[in-house]
């Protein structure tokens, strides 16, 4: 009986861990992201190449080459691993999600490096 309970606990734990990993990696916000130097439009969890100008609700415009033009006329270029939400907020794609780029600017990479130097 104990072996059966142990087996069920292990199976349940593994399936829950597997489900949790899949759900965090597949979360994609509506907006535009830059992945592998490609500007991708994401809607309802599906991404496709951006082919026309995308306008955010705050009137920011994102061109297919990744140039963001803000309402005040200033511009910036989306870098790999960054996204702009449908409200116009530019953020780094969270660690572990599809499109995230680990590098020197990644907070998770900085934490890993701190651990190695101690």
Domains in the chain, number: 1
DSSP sequence for 69-92: E-TTS-EEEPPTTEEEETTS-EEE
Does 3 map to a domain? no
Does 40 map to a domain? yes
7-33 pLDDT per residue, tens: 666 766 655 554 444 433 445 678 999
Does 17 map to a domain? no
pLDDT of residue 5: 64
The range of the structural domain enclosing residue 33 comes to 28-117
Q: Name the band, by pLDDT with cuts 50, 70 and 90, for residue 68.
A: very high
17 contacts: CB under 8 Å, gap ≥ 6: none
Does 12 map to a domain? no
Q: How many CB atoms lie within 10 A of CB 79?
A: 14
Q: How far is CA 10 from CA 5, 14, 24, 27, 42, in A?
A: 9, 6, 21, 26, 36
Residue whose entry in the numeric block shows the structure tokens 């992201």: 33
pLDDT of residue 105: 60
Mean pLDDT, residues 82-95 taken together: 86
Residue 4 has pLDDT above 60, yes or no: yes
Mean pLDDT, residues 73-95 taken together: 88
């Amino acid at each position: 009986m104990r072996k059966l309970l142990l087996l069920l606990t292990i199976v349940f734990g593994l399936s829950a861990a597997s489900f949790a990993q899949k759900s965090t990696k597949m979360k994609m916000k509506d907006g535009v992201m830059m992945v592998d130097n490609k500007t991708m439009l994401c809607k309802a969890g599906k991404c496709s190449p951006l082919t026309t100008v995308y306008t955010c609700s705050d009137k920011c415009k994102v061109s297919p080459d990744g140039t963001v033009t803000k309402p005040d006329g200033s511009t910036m270029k989306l870098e790999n691993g960054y996204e702009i939400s449908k409200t116009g907020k530019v953020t780094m794609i969270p660690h572990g999600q599809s499109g995230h780029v680990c590098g020197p600017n990644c907070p998770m990479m900085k934490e890993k490096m701190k651990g190695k130097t101690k």
